[in-house]
């Protein structure tokens, strides 16, 4: 029968070079006349680039990093003056004050009991402006509380005690409907996520923690590979774009995560709403004598295509513990074997994680591994 490969190609992951297709039952090839060649892929995570393709065929790319004011209100959206004043109140603050306010909200997400020091905002003696700042803080940062200070010239902002339990589920981290700049018909914010060597859900959970909201606020068309550079669309429900911009500008999520191209949208991005993914793959350690075979294989793929099925990438990146062995142990209820395989040491991972895996392989003591 046709196989998962269009050519005979002994391309293996650098961390499982001892594993080939025959070990997982792949023994036939679509193009029997084309000989294979040896090589290594994913030697580095940057060797595997994945760009999401939108339903209309557009390849997703990061065109502009997130900045405050990037997502303009949709055309035709009229905002009452009092609401506009409440939203613009925080924009009048000094940039360092706004950053301190967002940092306090992020710290509150990590420590809901409110032990972080307060933030003092200088707002002057204008009572109207001061009231607008109070309202904006209540709308944008429901886990924080504010009070007038400095004889009416400032506002003191503190963390609410047990903020996560005090606020109604689903409200935390989002603005109320009356102050939403997208209008009634544009309740979503679409933006582009570029991540390097990170899992999609890990990034979403970190975003939710920093923004003090639930992960369910975010949606996506599909998860992307961890060990790769990936570009995809994300969607947030009624989450102010400027808060995402603050994360991007401060680099809160680390150098391997970037946000950009924010815009208001009327529809949610749902799982499966994509035409596919476009891959750029770097092959290394291909012998010079086999370059002609690489060219022949590429021409074969161009002429005959390939069978879009399962290949070695579905069997994990650890030759000592391939994922189908883990699955077999689970089906047999061999829990100890399954755990040992999952925690087996592997190459190319975080050094601290590797030390913990190696310690577990020797002692089988989870407590000891957590102490390392």
Q: Which residues are catalytic?
A: 225
Pairing of strands 229-237, 283-284: unpaired
Neighbours of 284 (CB within 10 A): 13
Angle formed by the axes of helices 200-211 and 95-110, nearest 10°: 110
- In sequence order, what E strands does 197-272 have? 218-220, 229-237, 257-265
Alpha carbons 20 and 10: distance in angstroms, whole number: 7
- Extract the tokens encoding 341: 């395989």
- In sequence order, what E strands does 216-336 have? 218-220, 229-237, 257-265, 276-281, 283-284
Chain CA centroid to CA 187, Å:
21
Q: What three-state secondary structure class fits 363? A: helix
- Extract the tokens encoding 87: 């939203």
Alpha carbons 111 and 162: distance in angstroms, whole number: 9
Q: String of b and e for 70-88 (b: at least 16 CB within 10 Å)?
A: bbebeeeeebeeebebbbe
- Residue 163, judged by CB atoms within 10 A of its CB (0-12, 13-18, 19+), counts as buried
Computed over its alpha carbons, how large is the radius of gyration of the chain? 26
Inter-residue contact 309 to 4 (CB < 8 Å):
yes
Pairing of strands 38-41, 283-284: antiparallel
């Amino acid at each position: 029968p046709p196989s998962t490969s269009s050519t005979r190609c002994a391309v293996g992951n650098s961390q499982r070079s001892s594993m080939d297709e025959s070990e997982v039952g792949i023994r036939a090839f679509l193009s029997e006349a084309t000989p294979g060649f040896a090589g290594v892929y994913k030697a580095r995570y940057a060797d595997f680039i994945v760009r999401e393709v939108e339903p209309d065929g557009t390849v997703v790319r990061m065109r502009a990093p997130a900045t405050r004011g990037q997502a303009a209100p949709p055309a035709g959206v009229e905002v009452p003056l009092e609401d506009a004043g409440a939203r613009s109140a925080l924009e009048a603050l000094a940039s360092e004050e706004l950053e301190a306010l967002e940092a306090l909200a992020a710290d509150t997400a990590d420590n809901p009991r409110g032990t972080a020091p307060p933030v003092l905002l200088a707002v002057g003696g204008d009572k109207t402006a001061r009231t607008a700042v109070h309202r904006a803080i209540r709308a944008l940062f429901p886990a924080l509380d504010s009070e007038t200070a400095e004889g009416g010239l400032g506002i003191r902002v503190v963390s609410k005690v047990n903020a996560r339990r005090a606020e109604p589920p689903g409200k935390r981290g989002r603005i109320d409907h009356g102050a939403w700049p997208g209008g009634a018909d544009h309740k979503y914010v679409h933006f582009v996520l570029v991540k390097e060597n990170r899992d999609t859900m890990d990034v979403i959970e970190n975003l939710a923690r920093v923004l003090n909201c639930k992960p369910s606020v975010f949606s996506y068309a599909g998860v992307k590979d961890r060990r790769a550079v990936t570009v995809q669309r994300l969607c947030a429900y009624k989450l102010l774009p400027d808060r995402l911009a603050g994360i991007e500008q401060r680099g809160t999520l680390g150098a391997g995560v970037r946000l950009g191209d924010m815009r208001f949208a009327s529809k949610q991005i749902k799982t499966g709403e994509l035409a596919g993914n476009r891959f750029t793959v770097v092959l290394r350690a291909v012998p010079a004598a086999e370059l002609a075979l690489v060219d022949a294989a590429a021409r074969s793929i161009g002429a005959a295509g390939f069978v879009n099925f399962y290949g070695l990438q579905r069997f994990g990146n650890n030759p000592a513990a391939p994922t189908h062995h883990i699955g077999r142990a689970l089906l047999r209820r061999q829990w100890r074997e399954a755990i040992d395989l999952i925690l087996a040491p592997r190459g190319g991972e975080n050094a601290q994680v590797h030390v913990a895996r190696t310690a577990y392989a020797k002692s089988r003591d989870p407590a000891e591994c957590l102490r390392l």
